[in-house]
Amino acid sequence: MDRNRPALNLLKGVVLLAPLLFLVVFFFYPLLSIFAVSLAPEGTLDLSGFTRIFTSDYYRRTFWFTFGQALLSTALTIGLAIPGAYVFSRFSFPGKSLLMSLATLPFVLPTVVVAAAFSALIGPRGLLNQTLMSLLGFSAPPIVLERTLTIILIVHVFYNYAVALRIISSFWANQSVRIEEAARVLGAHGWRLWWNVRLPLLRPALLAASILVFIFTFTSFGVVLILGGPRFATIEVEIYRQVTSLFNLQVAAALSLVQIGFMFVLMLVYTRLQRQTTTDLQAAQSVVRQPRTVRERLFVAANVVLIVLLLIAPLAALVLRSFTSQGALTTQFYTLLSSNPRGSVLFTPPLTAVGNSLVFALATTALAVTLGLITAVLLSSRASRLARWLDPIFMLPLAASAVTLGFGYIIALDEPPLNLRSSPVLIPLAHTLVAMPFVVRSVLPSIRGIPPNVRGAARSLGASPWQVWRWIDLPLISRGLIVGATFAFTVSMGEFGASLFIARPDTPTIPIVIFRLLGQPGATNYGQAMAMSTILMAVCAISFVLIERLRTAGVGEF
Amino acid sequence: MKHILSLLILLLLAVTPAAAQDTTLTVITHDSFSYSEDVMQSFQDETGITVEVLRLGDAGTMINQSILSRKNPLGDVMYGVDNTFLSRALNADLFIPYESPALADVPEEFIVDDEFRVTPVDYGDVCLNYDVAYFEENDLAVPQSLADLTDPAYEGLLVVENPASSSPGLAFLLTTIAVFGEEGGYTYLDYWADLVANDVFISDDWSDAYYTQFSGSTDSQGTRPLVVSYASSPPVEVYFLPEPPEAAPTGSIVADDTCFRQIEFVGILQGTDNEDAARQFVNFLLSREFQQDMPLNMFVFPVLPDAELPEIFEEYAAVPEQAVTLDIDEIDTNRERWILEWTETVLR
């Protein structure tokens, strides 16, 4: 055994370094290349871009708007998701896993499609306004949300609710109920029980979910552009405008750096907070039960209703729209998807698009789960000071805008052995950058929560490190891992920003097909885009159920 | 050692002639480039050139990425640079000049670069579209000039795309600049201030403007009957319907000085090893076969005057007699300032 140790350690070292190497090659190197070209086009450093953004009122307002709306969106999302997560982790009720599956679907939908769904529901000629007008005799639509901060916040909750719900409830489900019971015995009830016991115990998961939602809404692009309208702009939107329409790389690079720098500081603070609290986990089985009292039933019902109204109603509006033409039900849009009257090269049979999407998504999931898991193990070693700096670094890909990174790829990955800039392989690699932080954030709270004494006991009973990992660590982190895998899969299925900014031969995914259909006028194109969106949701919903099965089949609950 | 060497030589011999015969030509283009498979196939069969298409997002992204990778280009030919971005590409010295013999049949107005660094292939007019039913039901005259749009009769009826993020949006801004100018008593900014006073709605991209805000498209939830789109949108709106309707649901306004003409070009990229194949490809794009294939694939008009238009274009598409254009250098020099001024006036 001793003979193998140096080799084993070397292998361990290589494995642990893999995620870092991945990040260096596919994130930092391209990013630094594009920053170098942008900030020193003639070889000398030119920081006029920074001067311009720091002296301008407009950019200051943009920054504060970005920050403020992200803060509000996060507070709203987490606030709504906590009771939901409680329901999902403590109670069993019919349709529970289906509801969880459906609640995750918004995450894969392109913003234009979501905008259409909300318009169909609460737009001036939408369902709600028309009902109110005919019932209550309003002469004008009573609900006017178009182009308001309110609609931005609602849609941010729509997109991110499932992120918070899944992370918090998976953590909660593995948490010991003994402390809570003890608190009850000692007289904590109602809000005191929530405020003094439940929420503090949840802190690691709350922080993890908040930071993800905050980063997502801070870098929000499509929602702000399309639903908020041109009057609102986040830093991300501004980067996009500077790059694509003005080709002002200096200002774009300066804005990108400000965004990344801000995120880094935020992540440092977060990592500090996160390390102060860990709560012990235990395998859960007896925790989930049916709601017994009327209050419990009402509580469950209220949360289910919220999810249905906020998340599922817009999705249902889309599905309905894909089956309606001129007031009548029809399946013509689905039939049209498979016909190519012009013999056009842009035509993609739906199965091909589904196939491409699935291949990219599975590759992304495999890569992101592997690298993310290794990263989480690396970061969970509490002693390491290095981890304190590494943790924020692994989150940075979420803060870099797709358009900047796409340009980085073009100039950095253009020579062998890394001549990948026009290879389809680049798409899952780029998706993995975004997906990996999800896996890390979903798994890390659980890994840190594994009680050391359980591991120690196993070891002293003669378990090998592999056995400890297989029978102690893996079951305890399996929920977190599944959440991470689900989001890795989802990120890849729905993402199309990176695909748009990366040169590619024709491997159209479902979002790209939707985007192409929406780029042409005509009711049938629009109907087909809705049909394709419905297919996207269906494929994802089925996949979520399968991923969830994987956990119960592969690891088992005990 | 000897074996390896002879093996290598054999390999080289086996590879070289094949490489000379089968040229692969990489075409860089934007996301809307489309053609019928059989048309491209016949080109490949005739010439032995294999065409590979590499898409780089929208036209702006495509040009920016090509400028960044100029020293090590991604392909041999670039198709899809239009006159609003052309200057940026020319100033970056992206192209090798080539005067295609097929240009002899192309009208003078499309040949923008007299050094022939780029070759015009197609054009499209960015025009206002209107909801036919709305104007009939409300007994309202369809506006016939840009100035009409500031009339209180059309208050709250118009949707325009943001020029900072949308290509038709920029084209419409350029139209207003060409018509009202930057100097004098009533500038383009005064015009935009009047549009704002008349409750113009700004969308960030074409899809949102056309499908979510505009009321004309079949089954639309939108409320506004006027939108900035293309002159080819009405035939396309009809084209995809399973059964052609008796009357088109939308129309385009093609009155003088209300439309902006976008011309799309192809250019041979500096650094190509396949210049000869690239020239053949440029000629192919100007062939009757390809020119006639374009309208139903990309909903643009061919630059070749004698290319036959599909029936549906003849029936439903209107071509403005006097579309607006601006000098490409003027666009490139002023684009950023115009967009900033527009943003200050309209969005603040």
Domain-wise residue ranges, chain A? 2-554
Q: How far apart are CA B99 and CA B187, in angstroms?
A: 39
Q: Answer yes or no: do B156 and B302 share one domain.
A: no
In this structure, the answer to whether residues B47 and B180 fall within a common structural domain is no
Residues in chain B with CB shorter than 8 Å from the CB of A523 are 217-220, 237, 240-241
* Residues B178 and B246 grouped into a single domain: yes
Tabulate helix, strand, coil % of chain B (nearest 5): 45, 20, 35
- Cross-chain Cβ contact B221/A527 below 8 Å: no
Question: What is the rounded CA–CA span in Å between residue B245 and residue B71?
Answer: 52
Residue B30, number of CB atoms within 10 A of its CB = 21
Other beta carbons less than 10 A from residue B304's beta carbon: 22
What residues form DSSP beta bridges with B203? B161
Q: In angstroms, rounded to a whole number, what is the distance separating the alpha carbons of residues A533 and A527?
A: 10
Please give the single-letter amino acid code of residue A203: R
For chain A, the straight-line distance linking the first and the last C-alpha, in angstroms and rounded, comes to 32
- Helix/strand/coil for A234: coil
Residue of A119, A244, A248 lying closest to B221 (CB–CB) = A119
Rounded to an integer, what distance in angstroms lies between the CA atom of residue A78 and that of residue A500? 31
CATH classification at residue B178? 3.40.190.10
Q: Is residue B3 part of a domain?
A: no
Both B268 and B172 in one domain: the answer is: no
Residues of B in contact with A422 (CB under 8 A): 54, 74
Q: Is A407 on the interface with B (CB under 8 A)?
A: yes
In terms of phi and psi (left: phi > 0; alpha: psi -120 to 50; beta: otherwise), the region of A129 is alpha
* Residues B66, B212 within the same domain: no
- The pLDDT assigned to B13 comes to 44
Cα–Cα distance between B36 and A334 in angstroms, integer?
A: 22
CB B168 within 8 A of CB B263: no
Pinpoint the alpha helices (H) of A91-198. 96-104, 111-122, 127-136, 149-173, 178-185, 190-192
pLDDT at A223: 86
In a shared domain, residues B249 and B268? no
Rg (CA), chain A: 24
Q: What angle do helix axes A48-55 and A249-276 make, rounded to 10 degrees? A: 70
Chain B residue numbers touching A522 (CB-CB < 8 A)? 217-218, 236-241
Please give the Cα distance from B309 to A369 (Å, whole number).
Answer: 53
Does the residue B233 lie in any domain? yes
| pTM to 2 decimal places | 0.85
B202 min Cα distance to partner chain A (Å): 7
CA distance A238 to chain B (A): 10
The 3-class secondary structure across A458-469, one letter per residue, is: HHHCCCCHHHHH
B227 DSSP β-pair partners? B129, B159
One domain for residues B338 and B224: yes
Q: Is the peptide bond before B242 cis (omega within 30 degrees of 0)?
A: no
pLDDT of residue A283: 56
Assigned domain for B65 exists? yes
Taking only residues 477 to 506 of chain A, the set having a beta carbon closer than 8 angstroms to any beta carbon of chain B reads 500-501, 503-506
- Return the SS3 of B258: coil
Bridge partners (DSSP) of residue B263 are B123
Residue of B nearest to A413 (CA): B69
**What is the helix (H) or strand (E) element at residue A203, kind and residue range?**
helix A199-218
Residue B133's identity, in one-letter code, is A
Q: Are B338 and B178 in contact (CB under 8 A)?
A: no
Q: At which residue do the structure tokens 């790059």 appear?
A: A243
| Separation CA A82–CA A303 (nearest Å) | 10
8 A C-beta contact, residue A439 and residue A488: yes
- Give the C-alpha separation, A516 to A511, whole Å: 9
Same domain, B265 and B325: no
Helix, strand counts (H, E) of chain B: 13, 11
d(CA A326, CA A324): 7
Q: Do B104 and B45 fall within a single domain?
A: yes
Cα B278 to chain center, whole Å? 21
- Assess whether pLDDT exceeds 90 at residue B21: no
Q: Is residue A157 left, alpha or beta, with left meaning phi > 0 and alpha meaning psi from -120 to 50?
A: alpha
- C-alpha span between B327 and B292 (Å, rounded): 28
Cα(A303)–Cα(A300) distance, integer angstroms: 5
The pLDDT assigned to A551 comes to 66
Nearest to B88 among A112, A126, A247 (CB): A247
In the numeric block, which tokens belong to residue B118? 């780029």
> Residue A251 corresponds to which tokens in the numbers above?
């200002």
Task: Say if the Cβ atoms of B239 and A119 lie within 8 Å.
Answer: no
Mutate: best of B24, B33, B207, partner A, most A CBs <10 A: B207
The identity of residue A250, as a single letter, is: Q
Closest CA to B235 of B174, B170, B182, B301: B301
| Residue B214 forms part of a structural domain | yes
Residue B250 to residue B234: CA distance in whole angstroms: 5
Neighbouring C-alpha atoms within 13 Å toward the C-beta of A333: 28
Q: What is the pLDDT of residue A384?
A: 62
> What confidence tens digit (pLDDT) does each residue in B322-333 have?
999 999 999 989
* Residue B69: inside a domain: yes
Q: Do the Cβ atoms of A510 and A357 come closer than 8 Å?
A: yes
Q: What phi, psi does A89 have (nearest 5°)?
A: -95, -15
E strand or H helix at A52:
helix A48-55
H-helix or E-strand spanning residue B309: none
Same domain, B133 and B164: yes
Handedness of CA A437, A443, A444, A445 (dihedral sign): positive
Q: Which two tokens stand for residue A176?
A: 């010991």
- How confident is the model at residue B19, as a pLDDT? 41
Residue B91 maps to a domain: yes
* Cα maximum dimension of chain A: 85
In a domain, B56, yes or no: yes
| CA B312 to chain centroid | 20
Average confidence (pLDDT) over B160-175: 92
Residue type present at position B161: E
* Helix H or strand E encompassing B77: strand B77-82
The answer to whether the CB atoms of A345 and B37 lie below 8 A apart is yes
Q: Name the domain count of chain B.
A: 2
Please, which residues bridge with residue B202 across strands?
B160
pLDDT per position as a tens digit, B337-346: 999 899 889 9
HSE (CB half, 13 Å, CA atoms) of B93? 2
Report yes or no for ipTM above 0.90.
no
Helices and strands in chain A: count of H runs, count of E runs: 27, 2
The residues that bridge with B251 in the sheet, in sequence order, are B130
**Measured distance CA(B7)–CA(B15) in Å, rounded:** 12
Query: Is A126 in Cβ contact with B170 (below 8 Å)?
Result: no
Q: Are residues B256 and B269 in the same domain?
A: no
* Residue B264: other Cβ atoms inside 10 A: 27
Chain A closest CA to B61's CA: distance in Å?
6
Q: Which residues contact B292 (CB under 8 A, 6 or more apart)?
A: B302, B307, B308, B309, B310
Residues B160 and B247 in one domain: yes
Per-residue pLDDT of chain A (558 residues; tens, 9 = 90+): 455 667 777 777 788 889 999 999 999 999 999 999 999 888 788 888 898 888 888 889 999 999 999 999 999 999 999 999 999 988 999 988 889 889 989 988 888 788 878 888 888 878 888 888 888 888 888 888 878 899 999 999 999 999 899 889 988 887 777 778 888 888 877 788 888 888 888 888 899 899 989 998 998 888 888 788 778 888 988 888 888 777 888 999 999 999 999 999 998 888 777 766 555 666 555 567 889 899 999 999 999 999 999 999 999 988 998 998 878 899 989 998 888 877 788 888 888 999 999 999 999 999 999 999 999 988 887 556 777 788 888 889 988 888 888 888 888 888 877 888 888 888 899 999 989 998 998 888 888 878 888 888 888 988 888 888 888 888 888 888 888 999 899 889 987 766 667 767 778 889 888 888 888 888 788 889 889 999 999 999 888 888 877 766 655 443
Please classify residue A556 by burial: count the beta carbons closer than 10 Å to its beta carbon, then call 0-12 exposed, 13-18 middle and 19+ buried.
exposed
CB count, 10 Å around CB of B102? 18
3-state secondary structure of B320: coil
**Nearest Cβ partner for A245 among B164, B206, B223:** B164
Domain of residue B181, residue span: 125-260+320-347
Q: What pLDDT, on a 0 to 100 scale, did the predictor assign at position A82?
A: 95
Look at residue B1 and tell me if it is in a domain. no
Which CATH code fits A2-554? 1.10.3720.10
Residue A416 pLDDT: 78
| C-alpha of A141 from chain center | 34
- Asked if residues B188 and B181 have their Cβ atoms less than 8 Å apart, the reply is yes
Mutation for testing the B interface, residue in A109, A245, A338 having most B CBs under 10 Å? A245
Q: Rounded to an integer, what distance in angstroms lies between the CA atom of residue A166 and that of residue A483?
A: 6
**Which of A501, A1, A433, A492 minimizes the C-alpha distance to A239?**
A501
Q: B37-47 vs B288-298: helix axis angle to the nearest 10?
A: 150
